[in-house]
Structure 1
Amino acid sequence: MNRQVQSEIRQGFKEQLDYNELMNCMRCGFCLPTCPTYGQTDQYEAASPRGRIALMKGVVDGVIEPDEDVEKQLNLCLGCRACEPVCPSGVKYGHLLEEARDVIQQKKKHKMHAKVMMGLVFKQLFPHKDRIKRLHYFLRFYQKSGLQRIVQKSKLLHILPGNIAELERTIPPIASAGALNNRPAYLPAEGQAKKKVAFFSGCLMDTMFMETNDATMKLLQKAGCDIVIPSGQGCCGALHAHGGEKEMAKRLAKANIEAFESLDADYIVLNAGGCGALLVEYDHLLRDEEEWRERAKAFAGKVRDFSEILVELQFAERELSLPEQVITYQDSCHLRNVMGTASAPRTLLASIKGVQYREMEEADHCCGSAGVYNITEKEMSMQILDYKMEKVNKVRAQTIVTANPGCLLQMRLGIIREGAEERMRAVHLADLLLEAVNGQGVS
Structure 2
Amino acid sequence: MTTTAHRAPTRRIDGPDPALLDACVHCGFCLPACPTYALWSEEMDSPRGRIHLMKAAVEGRATIDDRFVRYFDRCLGCLACVTACPSGVRYEPLIEATRAMIEQQHRRSFGDRLFRAFAYRTFPYRGRMRLLLLPLAVLRPVTELLHRTGMPRLLPRRLAAMLTSAPPLRLRNLFRRVPAAAPAGAPRLRAGLLTGCVQQLLFPDTNAATVRVLAAEGCDVLVPSRQGCCGALALHGGRIAEAKRFARRTIAAFERAKVDHVVTNAAGCGSAMKSYAHLFADDDRWRERAERFAASVRDVNELLDELGPPRTPRQPVDARVVYQDACHLAHAQGIRTAPRRLLAAIPGLTLADCSDDMCCGSAGIYNLLEPEPARRLGDRKIEQLLAAKPDIVATANPGCRLQLAAAARRAGRTVTFLHPVELLDLSIRGGEPPGGDHSPR
Same fold (TM over 0.5): yes
The DSSP-based 3-state class of the residue aligned with 2:202 is coil
Within the candidate set 395, 417, 432, 2:423 is matched to 432
8 Å contact 1:24–1:91 — kept in the other structure?
yes
Residue 76 of structure 1 corresponds to which residue in structure 2? Answer: 74
Match of 2:384 among 355, 378, 391: 391
Structure 2 residue 413 is the aligned partner of structure 1 residue 416: no
Q: Report Cα offsets for 1:207-251 as digits up to 9, x if no partner.
A: 222121111111111111101111120111111112221111111
- Aligned position for 1:130: 127
Letter in 1 for 2:423: L
Does residue 160 of the first structure (1) align with residue 152 of the second (2)? no
> How high is the sequence identity, in percent, across the aligned residues?
36
Task: Tell me, in whole angstroms, the C-alpha distance in 2 between the residues paired with 1:166 and 1:192.
Answer: 48
Deviates more, 1:276-285 or 1:94-103: 94-103
The one-letter amino acid of 1:420's match is R
Q: Give the corresponding residue for 1:311.
A: 305
Distance 2:309 2:396 in 1: 17
1:441 matched residue in structure 2: 433
Could you tell me how far apart the structure 1 residues matched to 2:174 and 2:39 are? 43
1:268-289 deviations in whole A, cap 9, x for unaligned?
0010001111000011112121
CA distance in structure 1 between the partners assigned to 2:21 and 2:161 by the alignment: 39
Please name the residue that 1:341 is paired with. Answer: 335
1:404 aligns with 2:401: no
1:141 equivalent among 134, 138, 141:
138
Contact map agreement 1:271 1:305 (CA 8 A) in 2: yes
Query: What's the counterpart of residue 376 of structure 1?
Result: 369
Structure 1 residue aligned with 2:439: none
Q: Distance in 1 between matches of 2:22 and 2:342?
A: 41
Q: Distance in 2 between matches of 1:149 and 1:417?
A: 13
Secondary structure, in 3 states, of the residue corresponding to 1:227? strand
Give, as a single letter, the amino acid of the residue that structure 2 aligns with 1:441.
P
The one-letter amino acid paired with 2:100 is: D
Q: How many residues align?
A: 432
- The structural deviation recorded for 1:190 is 3.2
Match of 2:117 in 1: 119
Displacement after TM superposition at 1:170 (Å): 5.0
**2:28 aligned residue:** 29
Classify 1:49/1:432 alpha carbon distance in 2 versus 1 (closer, same or farther; 3 Å): same
Q: 1:139-172: per-residue Cα shift (whole Å, max 9, x none)? A: 43233xx443454467543322227557645534
Q: Does 1:290 align with 2:284?
A: yes
On the 8 A contact 1:349/1:357 being kept in 2, the answer is yes
Contact preservation (8 Å) 2:167, 2:406: no
SS in 1 for 2:433: coil
User: Structure 1 residues 384 and 187, CA, compared in 2 at 3 Å: closer, same or farther?
Assistant: same
Per-residue deviation at 1:292?
A: 0.8
Confirm whether residue 5 of structure 1 aligns to residue 7 of structure 2. Answer: yes
Cα distance in 2 between the residues matched to 1:74 and 1:179: 34
AA aligned to 1:74 is: F
The aligned counterpart of 2:323 is: 329
Q: Which among 245, 265, 279 is matched to residue 271 of structure 1? A: 265
Distance 1:188 1:306 in 2: 16
